[in-house]
Amino acid sequence: MTSAPSTDAIRTVDAVVVGAGFAGLYMVHKLREAGFTVQGVDAAKDVGGTWYWNRYPGARCDIPSLLYSYTWSDELRDSWRWSEKYATQPEILAYAEHVADRYDLRPAFLFETKVVSAVFNEETGRWRVETDKGQVFDARFCIMGTGCLSVPRVPDLPGAASFKGKAYVTGQWPHDGVDFKGKRVAIIGTGSSAIQSMPLIAADAAQVTVFQRTPNFSLPALNTPLTDEEVAAFNEAFPIYKSLLDSGEPGIPLPPKGWVPSDEELAPLVEQLWNGGGLISAAMIPELMRSERINDAAADFVRARIREIVKDPVLAARLTPTSFPIAAKRACVDTDYFATYNRDNVTLVDLRETPIEAITETGVRTSGAEYPADIIVYALGFDAMTGALLNIDIRGRDGVALRDVWSEGPKTYLGVAIAGFPNLFTVTGPGSPSVLSNMLNSIEQHVDWIFDAIQHVQKTQSALIEATPQAQDDWVAHVNEEADQTLYPRAASWYVGANVPGKPRVFMPYVGEGYKKRCDQIAADGYVGFALSR
């Protein structure tokens, strides 16, 4: 416990920004440029957010690098050259570092420091933000750039602590890498992190055993180096891309609205899902998440490819996802995932047939057998979207805790503000498109919107801006209605919190259309649904 700091030790700032990922970096930059005093805080040693932590082999973005980039500065864009269609984690981290260097953002941050509480003071209308190192900030605004996938699930399997070999969590990967040469490796989980890392681990290790609870859909990345011509073509088209984003249109081509393709029309689109590379071709399939017929056609196509690639038909059947619609859990993007199961040194253990009973001193014991391992890789996913916010003791009006307000699931207005928590904003919070969009675009949109809202508070000489309970209730109802019209809720995914025992099952991202236009209209009309007070 740290003793209570003296009043002198409390630093007064206009804003505290939590997180030095892409959200926090841009927010700090924007506020500082406008003359606000800002304190950034991050638990990591340096910038990068999720890309700082997720250093497992094969970690990459699943949105093309050219789109997985900030759009707010031409000179930043001109100063950076992506080398591959889907950048690796080291390259994305280097991009975040490049941004921090170029705009001298590091001095605005306290690193290796966690915010432990943020408490609103009704009398002063300000936030008292405390860190685990005992620093206290008195801030007018509190902006949470805490990330959607920033709290990795650590192993809670019985006996995990008894394992005598080395154990690693994909989301907390060691900085100096892991040497798999000659080792027997157990990989637990078959989400994106496992699917990206497994082929690279198998290329090095003596033996890899993958423990699969639910088979997953994965699409080939078809990753390639980016040519100068591709970069030049993107740069040439950039003004159009940017103006589309600014006007609230998706920056990628989409099928015509209202078009429900016949089976005949669907066939080439579904083929493109596999042959187009990455996730973007999924967006080209109209009604993919609304029509069972269309979703089944896409899923069947991918299932057939798995059967083609995996030589052993029994193994192929085990690897074939059947229990949820394609993309209702985020589809993975891989390089050689299914093909790697044809290697002699790779084994699949189907936990639906033989569940894990315990981690032992020497490996993994299922109800069927004991699997000795030198290394266990836990790829168990994240306490997504709400985990990082709820790890902080956030208290709004009347000392009410966010943990209590959200005990039945997150409630926000637009995913950016919470009723009863004035002057506190969440970048890509639950209830916004966030993880179902290009995160970089969504982060930018939220940061710009929050910045404008703060400017509006200043201009109107208000003290506080806060979502009204009615606007929040209406938004939560709308988020749910939109999700209910889709196939998303049919999967026990992290979108609904199903991967964390005891987490309320609420669909968290916003799947409706026209989100940015709505946010912009709300601002243009004087922040409808928000109360401004002196």
Name the residues that contact ligand NA7, by CB under 6 A. 149, 157, 170, 188-194, 211, 213-214, 330, 351, 356, 379-382, 494, 499
In the block, residue with structure tokens 């059967």: 307
Q: How far is the CB of 170 from ligand NA7 (least distance, A)?
A: 6
**Closer residue to ligand NA7, CB minimum distance, 235 or 366:** 366
Q: How far is the CB of 115 from ligand NA7 (least distance, A)?
A: 23
C-alpha distances (whole Å) from 471 to each of 418, 428, 463 are 10, 18, 20
The number of residues in the chain equals 534
In the block, residue with structure tokens 């080439």: 268
**Closer residue to ligand NA7, CB minimum distance, 137 or 382:** 382
**Closer residue to ligand NA7, CB minimum distance, 86 or 137:** 86
Q: How far is the CB of 494 from ligand NA7 (least distance, A)?
A: 5
Q: How far is the CB of 489 from ligand NA7 (least distance, A)?
A: 15
Q: Where are the alpha helices (DSSP H) in 170-226?
A: 192-204
> Do 168 and 376 touch, CB atoms closer than 8 A?
yes
Q: How far is the CB of 330 from ligand NA7 (least distance, A)?
A: 4
| Interatomic CA distance for residues 7 and 9, integer angstroms | 5
The pair of three-digit structure tokens given for residue 380, joined into one six-digit string: 């168990």
**Closer residue to ligand NA7, CB minimum distance, 58 or 420:** 58
Residue 82: helix, strand or coil by DSSP?
coil
Q: Where are the beta strands (DSSP E) in 75-183?
A: 109-110, 115-121, 126-131, 136-144, 166-169
Query: In angstroms, how far is the first alpha carbon of the chain from the final one?
Result: 36
When CB distances to ligand NA7 are compared, the closest residue is 191
Q: How far is the CB of 427 from ligand NA7 (least distance, A)?
A: 17
**Closer residue to ligand NA7, CB minimum distance, 68 or 494:** 494
**Closer residue to ligand NA7, CB minimum distance, 40 or 325:** 325
- Spacing of C-alpha 523 from chain mean position: 26
Helix axes 439-459 and 22-33, enclosed angle (nearest 10): 30
| Interatomic CA distance for residues 54 and 60, integer angstroms | 9
**Closer residue to ligand NA7, CB minimum distance, 195 or 266:** 195
The pair of three-digit structure tokens given for residue 428, joined into one six-digit string: 């890509």
Q: How far is the CB of 134 from ligand NA7 (least distance, A)?
A: 33
As beta bridge partners, residue 11 has 137
**Closer residue to ligand NA7, CB minimum distance, 54 or 207:** 54
Q: Where are the beta strands (DSSP E) in 230-340?
A: 332-334
In the block, residue with structure tokens 């806060």: 466
Please name which of 201, 155, 209 lies closest in space to residue 57, comparing C-alpha atoms: 201
C-alpha distances (whole Å) from 81 to each of 68, 276, 482 are 12, 23, 38
Q: How far is the CB of 499 from ligand NA7 (least distance, A)?
A: 5
Phi then psi dihedrals of residue 130, to 5 deg? -115, 145
Q: How far is the CB of 423 from ligand NA7 (least distance, A)?
A: 30
As beta bridge partners, residue 3 has none
